[in-house]
Amino acid sequence: MGKTQKYKYYKIEGDKVVRLKKFCPKCGPGVFMAEHLNRYACGRCGYTEWKNSGKKEE
């Protein structure tokens, strides 16, 4: 397996560290979710959250 570059998942704003990716709600802190075009997915447990398309169907 390749090495994960976790330093790319954080950003420093002033004296605070900000996470750029979401944590998996099932696996807990430390397990990031992958961001796809229409969803967020956890590679560890398979949990998926769908993004809102922004369209309202009537």
Cβ atoms of 18 and 12 within 8 Å: the answer is yes
pTM: 0.68
- 2-58 residue pLDDT tens: 677 888 889 999 999 999 999 999 999 989 999 999 999 999 999 999 998 655 555
Which residues sit in the known binding site for Zn(2+)? 24, 27, 42, 45
Neighbouring CB atoms inside 10 A of 33's CB total: 20
Which residues sit in the known binding site? 24, 27, 42, 45
- 8-19 residue pLDDT tens: 889 999 999 999
Q: Are strands 39-42 and 28-35 parallel, antiparallel or unpaired?
A: antiparallel
